[in-house]
Amino acid sequence: MVTSIFFLALAGTIAELVRGQLAFPNGSLLTPGLYEQAVSFHGLIMILWFLSPFGTAFANYFVPTQIGAKDMAFPRLNAMSYWLYVFSGFMLVSTIFLPGGGPQTGWTLYAPLTTTEYMPQPGMTLSVLALGVLAVSITMSSVNFLTTILGTRIKKMRWWKMPAFSWSILFTNFLMLFAFPPLAAGAILLTMDRVFGTVFFSSMLGGALLWTQYFWFFGHPEVYVVVLPALGAIAEIFVTFSKRPLFQKRVFLIEMAAVTVLSVGVWIHHMFMTGIALGVRETFSFTTMAISVPFEGLVIGLVLTLRKSALRITTPMLFAMGALFFVILGGITGVFQASIALDYAYRGTYWVVGHFHYVMVGTTIFGLVAALYYWFPKITGRMYNEKIGKLTFLFSFIGFNVLYFPYFLLQDMPRRIASYAANPEWFPLNLTATVGALIFGPFILISFLNIGHSAFTGAPCEPNPWDAVSTEWTGDYSIPEPDDPEGGIEESENDNEPEKEAQPPPPSIVPSQNQEETASYEEERSTRTYLPVVVAGGVIFFLYGFIMFAPLAIIGLLIMAGAVVKWFHDDYHDKYAEIKQTLKEKWPFETVGKEKLGLWIFLMSEIVLFGCLISGYIYVRLGSSTWPLAAETHNVVIGSLNTVLLLTSSLAMILAVQAAKNNDQLGIKAGILGAFTLGAMFLMIKLSIEWPREIINGFVITGGLAPSTYYMLMGAHAIHVGIGLGGLTYLMAKGFAGKFTPQSHTALELIGLYWAFVDIVWIFLFPLFYLI
């Protein structure tokens, strides 16, 4: 959380620079080049490195507490995800210091502006890679959250009883799981374009629109990823301070679910001006309007919660009400943009900027600052300064409106321009906005200073100062349980040391397992490890080196490999810890252990990723007038042979799992060895026979869209096969040591599952490339 506030400060400063530049028609604070970098960084950092992680930071602390789980389902994965997030952020920011600077493309990174032809600097490539790393980090974290919420809720925490905030995080993470793979797909293709000379986005044959499709398929759900946690927090705050139950909680949650589902079906409204068929746009215009109906329901539900209430106006309540006001204004202006006809006027103007700042800044920052004030006593056991709190609300509310309301009146001003000498009539409104920014920025900063200062000097308070009824305050999951004020300092909320928050579960929870839980808590303490940070560091080294300086890449790769081996090595010896965990986490999903659940969720995101890559291939293929025949470019015999190899390998794996269940050690060894050999043969044939053959025939990666898509999809699959082989190597080591028993073969099952997935992907790829 501290990290995300740091990113906020950074991006906020950049925003003030931007406003400073635009205060006068001939701003000279920044050169156009620097200005465009500033808007790009501001957008990227604010949305991706501040707003979403800020909500997630709260979730990391309060979701487990609210649902009665001991901690996140996978603490180490959590740490890994955190470090990847931190390092990717630094990687992005560092590009500004590299020769040529960072991206000058806005946060939407529209291709082909982002291709090497127009943005040759390495900073651009690194930024795209940073996005990719972030996507990986977010996927890890959503796997973790979903497993935590689905798999490790306390028995008594029934679905309808789960607090609104945890619900909102559940929806958010489902969205992340679907939204980030398209971004990753886009980043993969763009990186390949920039590094290997493929032509996905630079070719005229439909490539330019491909990026906007990918980006907005990610980008629109991302808005809800940002807003939903804030709404969840607002709901908690409204309930606590109004002393009323959430108005029709079930309807509220159903509406939230509706928003979640609809949000993946509205992205075309960002592309109304791209010349897509009118019928398609009309459909999306209507779905966009339709999404405002459940949203309106959410707002009305919150407002009606205040009816007949006994309302205490505290700082968090004020911020929450402010946020609700901004949802209303931002939401209504959003309906304007849903209209295609009005969008002909709004596309690319400050009206749009005004709208999304009301939604993203207004709702999310006010909502999450409210959450920060609200949960502050819980996190630190101290009270913030109420007077300063209320004062900061007043001024940031006024400042916010002075800053963003003029944007609605600047309907014709284009976004991302560094000066506007041709239109002096825009000057007064821009000056007003800059004045607003000078009020809003400092007062938000004062808010954080208030919090930071009170964390050390605030008056100690009781465990439940708001007299709240939700579980994270009372610790009452409908069974008696002592209150537990947590003494952790704010940083401990970060994912890097999640173990600190884990508390010994009170004796009353499921008494029969009590002993074991306490024991495994001790064990978990011992799982605190530096490995995730090393792996993440290795990844970043590798990527830097990859782009800038090759030896660095090798060092990075070595660090990464070393740490991963060590990680598995730990697991190799710690097998006993795993057994207990699988036994323990059984309640909601009787037969599925949390590891398996996590892997299934992860595979879901992989399916979306491959889905995106494959549909990208289909898209460019359908958009091209000519496409080389499969028979001319690929050898069906080799392809078929590989198909057989991979399928047999899967079969061997299944046999190994069966053998483990029957405690047939020889079967296990044979199965794993068979699977490994066949998989390795597949990869060998691919890399040493098939590809060289094709390259000699002139089918090279830079040779147009057909080879671009071929090597991209085959490469992605081959990397998955490679990872699978790595997993199989580990299994071999373990299998030959005879460590798999009928009770303990989770690793075998998991890697087997993954291996099966890799095969299934091939079953789709084979006909797409070799037969059609």
Partner 1 sequence: MSLPVPPTAVDYWDLFSAFFIIGLVAGGIVVSAMVYYAYVNRRKIGRREFKISRAHFRSRARETVILAMISLTILFSLSVLSDRIAANIQTPPETSTSLVINVNAFQWAFQFIYPNNVTVTTDCRIPVNTTVIFNVTSLDVMHDFGLPQFKIKTDAIPGRHNIIWINVPSLEGQNELTYQIKCYELCGIGHTFMMGNLIVMNQTAFDQWLNQTAVSQGLG
Q: Which of 29, 195, 289, 673 binds partner 1 (CB under 8 A)?
A: 289
- How many CA atoms, within 13 angstroms, populate the side-chain half-sphere of residue 271? 26
Q: Is there binding between residue 349 and partner 1 (CB under 8 A)?
A: yes
Q: Which stretch binds partner 1 (CB under 8 A): 394-402, 416-424, 501-509, 738-746?
A: 416-424
Q: Considering the complex, what minimum distance in angstroms separates the CB of residue 213 from partner 1?
A: 12
10 Å CB burial of residue 258 (0-12, 13-18, 19+) is middle
CA–CA distance, 12 with 45 (Å, rounded to integer): 9
CB neighbour list of residue 23: distance below 8 Å, 6 or more residues apart: 430, 431, 434
CB closer to partner 1 out of 302 and 630: 302
Whether residue 455 contacts residue 490, with contact meaning beta carbons closer than 8 Å, is answered with yes
CB closer to partner 1 out of 244 and 661: 244
CA–CA distance, 204 with 454 (Å, rounded to integer): 57
Q: Considering the complex, what minimum distance in angstroms separates the CB of residue 423 from partner 1?
A: 8
* DSSP conformational letter for 204: T
Separation of first and last alpha carbons in the chain: 50
CA–CA distance, 160 with 746 (Å, rounded to integer): 32
Q: Considering the complex, what minimum distance in angstroms separates the CB of residue 169 from partner 1?
A: 23
Interface with partner 1 (CB under 8 A), residue total 87
Q: Which of 247, 440, 610, 757 binds partner 1 (CB under 8 A)?
A: 247
Residue numbers 90-129 binding partner 1 by CB under 8 A = 104-106, 108, 110-113, 117-118
If we measure between CA atoms, which residue out of 44, 48, 137, 129 comes closest to residue 91?
Answer: 129
CB closer to partner 1 out of 234 and 645: 234
Q: Which of 97, 99, 275, 591 binds partner 1 (CB under 8 A)?
A: 275
Q: Which of 324, 713, 714, 747 binds partner 1 (CB under 8 A)?
A: 324
Tokens of 112: 């082909």
Q: Is there binding between residue 297 and partner 1 (CB under 8 A)?
A: yes
Q: Is there binding between residue 399 and partner 1 (CB under 8 A)?
A: no
Q: Is there binding between residue 156 and partner 1 (CB under 8 A)?
A: no
Q: Which stretch binds partner 1 (CB under 8 A): 310-318, 482-490, 614-622, 633-641?
A: 310-318
Q: Which of 16, 296, 516, 523 binds partner 1 (CB under 8 A)?
A: 296
CB neighbour list of residue 94: distance below 8 Å, 6 or more residues apart: 126
E strand or H helix that includes residue 474: helix 471-474
If we measure between CA atoms, which residue out of 300, 308, 463 comes closest to residue 377?
Answer: 463
Q: Considering the complex, what minimum distance in angstroms separates the CB of residue 245 from partner 1?
A: 5
Q: Considering the complex, what minimum distance in angstroms separates the CB of residue 772 from partner 1?
A: 24
Q: Is there binding between residue 417 and partner 1 (CB under 8 A)?
A: yes
CA–CA distance, 177 with 160 (Å, rounded to integer): 23
Tokens of 681: 């043969």
Q: Is there binding between residue 418 and partner 1 (CB under 8 A)?
A: yes
Bridge partner list, 414: 349
**Secondary structure (DSSP) of 17-80:** HHHHHHTSTT--SS-HHHHHHHHHHHHHIIIIIIIHHHHHHHHHHHHHHHHT-SS-S-HHHHHH
Opening angle at CA 7, ends 125 and 113, nearest 5: 30
Q: Which stretch binds partner 1 (CB under 8 A): 247-255, 370-378, 558-566, 610-618?
A: 247-255
Q: Is there binding between residue 321 and partner 1 (CB under 8 A)?
A: yes
Q: Which stretch binds partner 1 (CB under 8 A): 330-338, 651-659, 664-672, 714-722?
A: 330-338
Q: Which of 209, 564, 565, 685 binds partner 1 (CB under 8 A)?
A: 209
CA–CA distance, 511 with 268 (Å, rounded to integer): 53
- Dihedral pair phi/psi, residue 664, rounded to 5°: -100, 90
If we measure between CA atoms, which residue out of 487, 493, 574 comes closest to residue 529?
Answer: 574
CB closer to partner 1 out of 102 and 667: 102
10 Å CB burial of residue 615 (0-12, 13-18, 19+) is middle
CB closer to partner 1 out of 34 and 391: 34
Q: Is there binding between residue 159 and partner 1 (CB under 8 A)?
A: no
CA 594 to the chain's CA centroid: 21
Q: Which of 100, 120, 414, 460 binds partner 1 (CB under 8 A)?
A: 414
Q: Is there binding between residue 273 and partner 1 (CB under 8 A)?
A: yes
SS3 605: helix
Residue numbers 496-555 binding partner 1 by CB under 8 A = none
- Dihedral pair phi/psi, residue 442, rounded to 5°: -60, -35
Q: Which of 155, 282, 508, 736 binds partner 1 (CB under 8 A)?
A: 282
Q: Considering the complex, what minimum distance in angstroms separates the CB of residue 225 from partner 1?
A: 23
Whether residue 583 contacts residue 746, with contact meaning beta carbons closer than 8 Å, is answered with no
Q: Which of 141, 333, 392, 464 binds partner 1 (CB under 8 A)?
A: 333
Q: Which stretch binds partner 1 (CB under 8 A): 150-158, 225-233, 344-352, 590-598?
A: 344-352
Q: Is there binding between residue 339 and partner 1 (CB under 8 A)?
A: yes
Tokens of 527: 């799982």
CA–CA distance, 205 with 200 (Å, rounded to integer): 9
Q: Is 416 left (phi over 0), alpha (psi -120 to 50) or beta?
A: left
Q: Is there binding between residue 435 and partner 1 (CB under 8 A)?
A: no
CB closer to partner 1 out of 67 and 271: 271
Q: Considering the complex, what minimum distance in angstroms separates the CB of residue 254 from partner 1?
A: 10
Q: Count CB-CB contacts under 10 A for residue 193.
A: 27
Q: Is there binding between residue 274 and partner 1 (CB under 8 A)?
A: yes
Residue numbers 16-45 binding partner 1 by CB under 8 A = 32-33, 35-36, 39
Residue numbers 693-722 binding partner 1 by CB under 8 A = none
Q: Which of 96, 98, 257, 342 binds partner 1 (CB under 8 A)?
A: 342
Q: Is there binding between residue 645 and partner 1 (CB under 8 A)?
A: no
Whether residue 330 contacts residue 400, with contact meaning beta carbons closer than 8 Å, is answered with no
CB closer to partner 1 out of 80 and 131: 131
10 Å CB burial of residue 456 (0-12, 13-18, 19+) is exposed
Whether residue 49 contacts residue 85, with contact meaning beta carbons closer than 8 Å, is answered with yes
Q: Is there binding between residue 306 and partner 1 (CB under 8 A)?
A: yes
CA–CA distance, 626 with 614 (Å, rounded to integer): 18
Q: Considering the complex, what minimum distance in angstroms separates the CB of residue 462 from partner 1?
A: 14
Q: Considering the complex, what minimum distance in angstroms separates the CB of residue 340 from partner 1?
A: 4
Q: Considering the complex, what minimum distance in angstroms separates the CB of residue 470 from partner 1?
A: 11
Q: 3-class secondary structure for 494-546?
A: CCCCHHHCCCCCCCCCCHHHHHHHHHHHHHHHHCCCCHHHHHHHHHHHHHHHH
- Dihedral pair phi/psi, residue 560, rounded to 5°: -60, -50
Q: Which stretch binds partner 1 (CB under 8 A): 294-302, 361-369, 510-518, 749-757?
A: 294-302
Residue numbers 443-482 binding partner 1 by CB under 8 A = 469
Q: Which stretch binds partner 1 (CB under 8 A): 311-319, 546-554, 611-619, 748-756?
A: 311-319
| Binding flags for partner 1, 585-624, as an x/- string (CB under 8 A) | ----------------------------------------
Q: Is there binding between residue 386 and partner 1 (CB under 8 A)?
A: no
CB closer to partner 1 out of 112 and 679: 112
Q: Considering the complex, what minimum distance in angstroms separates the CB of residue 401 from partner 1?
A: 13
CA–CA distance, 291 with 334 (Å, rounded to integer): 10
CB closer to partner 1 out of 347 and 575: 347
SS3 460: strand
Q: Which of 76, 153, 194, 281 binds partner 1 (CB under 8 A)?
A: 281
